[in-house]
């Protein structure tokens, strides 16, 4: 910015305007800050009438009250453009806004998460605006989650770039927000070991273990202990570290994985990394790290700090941004991990960077588009999901990657199912099953079987539904895949709910809640089903399931599940939630959701 002094709109923590060397004028009144926060987080703009009704529901002249507060903001934010209908706020240098930077952190790689402290509009409450109050609670969860992720990722990046002291500082800050974050604990231990602080590392592991036992009744997460003792496999000292030997191990690891020998394949890929580290070829090291990371994620269910650390090391080795298949794959995998962890704002940033790096590589573009489609579906942006997944399938077909075709087609079928478009859902899922059979890709079959079974269930074909849903559960259980087990158990619960067997439905809910899937969308869908079953059974557990769903959906940006959680609250007697449901539902284009709400709330969604 050429040395231009920045003026900050601080919405995280007690709201304030900060300017170096001066005390700038501050907006007067909590409603002015509420308008400012709402506009800052509406990147696509928001209608004036809608904003006025949201923030001034009891005013004689809501639009007049909004105009007064907009005038107040323009007085204090000289240079920040707030105009139009829909209203948009444009923050240009020298102005910065912490909340805007957080949600757009993929475009602000230099953002220092250590400066992000406190909740959105901390200290302000809006009980007189129940719908806005619900929106604010939702956004507080979302932004807290993004900041936590930024601290974690910054700690990983510091560790990968050889700055373990900075990694310790960042991981410690992250743990202040969530002391049970297993991956942050693992990164802290890794950083302490890298500093040579072995005693502190052991003490932290002991302290962490006691915390888990006393507070959660759980054992120490395996990844934390592994961070203390993890060592790279030893290569034969006589083995020359050359490009040829590294590629031989990469090829051998790929062959072992294809043959189903996962442990052997991972060992060979780890040795490829060890040998690559002894060469001067930084690109080869990056390629080896990304190959190992991909195998850990997609073959061994790896999702934790170890995999993320490898990917950050790969990006550090690959060098500056530019067109690179290896960098594109690393960014894509980081985006995929963020999608599964339920941090959509971070996922979007990683995937945007992946697409830039993938220029000229259509096979990699197909993979990235599929994850972008998954992200759009999870956040209830269904039109964007259809566009991304359709293009992914087209590119996959062009390059002859039938597994990628099957993956993208299955996710497209899920989008159609969620929107109640049963014929296109069935067509997509049947094509995906044909391609999976041709590829002998049994690892992915539980997902497609489960979703196809749910399509039969939605069509009222319960026998066909039971056959595929049962198959999905058995295959997921045999594979020990927690994500697919949660998916299949939820489908079983919905099947028994359709039969009117609430006891069996509750049993399957409990079975599904036992595994802890990495992909949080499955958890949210299962909790939504759990709430429906518990409400139907008049179970006292209903409130617990609803609150868990609401918090998870808000933190993870799963907009449709936020609406459904509010719908459950309304059924349980929460009047503020009843007012919030139609407001939030209008932002989501889903005929199936609209029909569900209309039936449940007697036209509330109209």
Q: Collect the ranges in the chain with pLDDT lower than 50.
A: 1-2, 603-606
Q: Is the peptide bond before 113 cis (omega within 30 degrees of 0)?
A: no
pLDDT, tens digit, 9 for 90 and up, residues 377-392: 999 999 999 999 999 9
**What integer pLDDT is reported at residue 54 of this predicted model?**
95
In angstroms, the first-to-last Cα distance of the chain is 48
Mean pLDDT of the chain: 93
Q: Is 227 helix (H, G, I), strand (E, B) or coil?
A: helix
Dist CA 386 CA 587 (whole Å): 17
Q: Are residues 216 and 155 in the same domain?
A: yes
* CB proximity list for 515: less than 8 A, separation 6 or greater: 482, 485, 486
Residue 95 lies in a domain: no
**What integer pLDDT is reported at residue 232 of this predicted model?**
60
Q: Is 481 helix (H, G, I), strand (E, B) or coil?
A: coil
Dist CA 328 CA 477 (whole Å): 33
Q: pTM for this structure? A: 0.93
Residue 157 lies in a domain: yes
pLDDT, tens digit, 9 for 90 and up, residues 49-105: 999 999 999 999 999 999 999 999 999 998 899 999 999 999 988 999 999 999 987
pLDDT above 70 covers what percent of the chain? 96
Residue 271 lies in a domain: yes
Give the total number of structural domains in the chain.
2
Q: Which domain holds residue 219?
A: 143-229
Using alpha carbons, select from 397, 488, 413, 410 the residue that is nearest to residue 446: 488
Using alpha carbons, select from 81, 50, 77 the residue that is nearest to residue 66: 50
Question: Among residues 319, 334, 350, which one ends one of the domains?
Answer: 319
Q: Are residues 206 and 148 in the same domain?
A: yes
**β-bridge mates for residue 18, sequence order:** 8
Q: In this structure, are residues 588 and 378 in contact, taking their beta carbons and an 8 Å threshold?
A: no
Dist CA 187 CA 511 (whole Å): 32
CATH assignment at residue 164: 1.25.40.10
Q: Are residues 161 and 223 in the same domain?
A: yes
Q: Are residues 206 and 165 in the same domain?
A: yes
Question: Among residues 319, 348, 373, which one ends one of the domains?
Answer: 319
Q: Are residues 203 and 163 in the same domain?
A: yes
Residue 46 lies in a domain: no
Question: Among residues 197, 229, 261, which one ends one of the domains?
Answer: 229
Dist CA 394 CA 400 (whole Å): 10
Dist CA 398 CA 401 (whole Å): 8
**What integer pLDDT is reported at residue 606 of this predicted model?**
42
Dist CA 606 CA 432 (whole Å): 36
Q: Are residues 147 and 207 in the same domain?
A: yes
Q: Is 11 helix (H, G, I), strand (E, B) or coil?
A: coil
**What integer pLDDT is reported at residue 299 of this predicted model?**
87
- Token duo for residue 579: 């007012």
Q: Are residues 200 and 267 in the same domain?
A: no
Residue 404 lies in a domain: no
Q: Are residues 222 and 152 in the same domain?
A: yes
Q: Are residues 185 and 255 in the same domain?
A: no
Q: Are residues 297 and 251 in the same domain?
A: yes
SS3 content of the chain, % helix, strand, coil (to 5): 70, 5, 25
CATH assignment at residue 273: 1.25.40
Dist CA 565 CA 380 (whole Å): 14
Q: Are residues 170 and 201 in the same domain?
A: yes
Dist CA 178 CA 158 (whole Å): 20
Residue 99 lies in a domain: no
Residue 267 lies in a domain: yes
- Token duo for residue 467: 């056959």
pLDDT, tens digit, 9 for 90 and up, residues 191-202: 999 999 999 999
Residue 494 lies in a domain: no
Q: Are residues 151 and 215 in the same domain?
A: yes
């Amino acid at each position: 910015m050429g040395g231009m002094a920045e003026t900050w709109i601080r919405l995280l923590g007690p709201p304030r305007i900060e300017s170096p060397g001066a005390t700038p004028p501050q907006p007067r009144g909590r409603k002015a800050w509420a308008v400012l926060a709402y506009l800052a987080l509406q990147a696509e703009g928001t209608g004036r009438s809608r904003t006025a009704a949201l923030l001034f529901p009891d005013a004689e002249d809501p639009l007049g009250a909004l105009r007064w507060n907009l005038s107040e903001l323009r007085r204090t934010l000289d240079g920040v453009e707030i105009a139009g209908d829909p209203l948009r706020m444009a923050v240009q240098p020298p102005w910065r806004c912490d909340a805007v930077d957080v949600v757009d952190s993929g475009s602000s790689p230099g953002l220092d998460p250590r400066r992000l402290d406190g909740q959105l509009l901390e200290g302000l409450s809006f009980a007189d605006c129940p719908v806005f109050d619900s929106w604010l609670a939702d956004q507080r969860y979302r932004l807290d989650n993004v900041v936590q992720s930024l601290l974690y990722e910054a700690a990983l990046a510091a560790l990968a770039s050889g700055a373990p002291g900075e990694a310790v500082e960042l991981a410690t800050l992250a743990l202040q927000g969530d002391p049970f974050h297993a991956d942050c604990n693992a990164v802290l231990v890794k950083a302490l070991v890298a500093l040579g602080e072995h005693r502190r590392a052991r003490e932290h592991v002991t302290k962490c273990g006691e915390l888990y036992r006393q507070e959660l009744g759980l054992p120490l997460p395996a990844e934390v202990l592994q961070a203390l003792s993890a060592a790279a496999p030893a290569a034969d000292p006589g083995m020359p570290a050359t490009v040829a030997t590294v590629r031989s191990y990469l090829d051998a690891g790929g062959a072992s994985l294809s043959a189903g020998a996962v442990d052997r394949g991972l060992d060979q890929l780890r040795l490829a990394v060890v040998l690559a580290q002894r060469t001067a070829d930084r690109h080869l090291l990056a390629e080896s790290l990304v190959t190992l990371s991909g195998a850990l994620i997609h073959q061994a269910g790896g999702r934790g700090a170890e995999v993320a650390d490898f990917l950050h090391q790969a990006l550090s080795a690959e060098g500056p941004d530019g067109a690179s298949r290896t960098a594109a794959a690393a960014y894509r995998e980081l985006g995929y991990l963020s999608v599964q962890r339920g941090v959509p704002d971070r996922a979007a940033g990683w995937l945007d960077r992946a697409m830039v790096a993938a220029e000229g590589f259509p096979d990699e573009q197909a993979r990235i588009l599929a994850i972008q489609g998954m992200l759009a579906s999870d956040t209830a942006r269904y039109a964007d999901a259809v566009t991304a997944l359709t293009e992914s399938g087209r590119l996959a077909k062009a390059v002859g990657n039938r597994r990628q075709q099957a993956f993208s087609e299955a996710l497209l079928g899920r989008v159609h199912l969620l929107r109640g478009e049963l014929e296109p859902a069935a067509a997509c899922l049947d094509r995906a099953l044909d391609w999976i059979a041709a590829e002998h890709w049994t690892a992915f079959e539980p997902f497609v079987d489960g979703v196809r079974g749910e399509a039969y269930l939605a069509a009222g074909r319960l026998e066909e539904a039971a056959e595929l849903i049962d198959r999905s559960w058995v295959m997921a259980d045999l594979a020990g895949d927690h994500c697919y087990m949660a998916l299949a158990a939820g489908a079983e619960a919905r099947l028994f709910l359709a039969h009117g067997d609430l006891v069996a439905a509750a049993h399957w809910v409990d079975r599904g809640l036992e595994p802890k899937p990495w992909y949080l969308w499955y958890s949210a869908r299962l909790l939504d089903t759990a709430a429906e079953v518990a409400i139907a059974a008049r179970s006292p557990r209903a409130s617990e399931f609803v609150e868990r769903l609401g918090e998870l959906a808000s933190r993870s940006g799963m907009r449709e599940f936020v609406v459904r959680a509010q719908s459950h609250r309304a059924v349980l007697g929460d009047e503020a939630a009843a007012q919030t449901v139609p407001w939030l539902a209008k932002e989501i284009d889903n005929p199936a959701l609209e029909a569900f709400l209309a039936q449940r709330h007697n036209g509330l969604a109209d």
